[in-house]
Amino acid sequence: MTPRRVVVLVADLFFSARIRATAGSLGVALEEADAVSALETCRARPPGLVIMDLHAGGDPLAVARSLKAEPETRAIPIVGFYSHVDRALRQAALEAGMDHVLPRSAFTAKLPELLAATAPGDPG
């Protein structure tokens, strides 16, 4: 069976390391991208999930809007995480089409569940 593939747009080293460690323990294949390469990465081979740090460089909200606007990438679930004090960013992420927007603490707690979930059409 092919491992689940997750594309991550996370520049923060703490969260990147946490995601890598958790994915490794679950047998999930990670592919790192940035705001510039994410859309092409997802078009070329749609992943089972995209994870975005909403405080990362580039424009994660524009990436989410683009992914949700295209028929071939629209169904890819997107999880964004943010600093719990930035409620306006949470609302903007939801409006951009992100499926789940979590404060960093909730994201960390739910990370194994998020990575292990099998989305429709996801081989893993």
* Confidence check: pLDDT of 51 > 60: yes
Q: What is the pTM of this model?
A: 0.90
| Contact residues for 120 (Cβ-Cβ < 8 A; gap 6+) | 75
66-77 tens-digit pLDDT: 999 999 999 999
Q: What are the domain boundaries of the chain?
A: 5-116
CATH of span 5-116: 3.40.50.2300
- Residue 98 identity (one-letter amino acid): M
| Contact residues for 12 (Cβ-Cβ < 8 A; gap 6+) | 53, 55, 56
The neighbour count for residue 84, using CB atoms within 10 Å, is 12
77-88 tens-digit pLDDT: 999 999 888 889
Cβ-in-10-Å burial (0-12, 13-18, 19+) of 103 comes to: middle
* Confidence check: pLDDT of 124 > 80: no
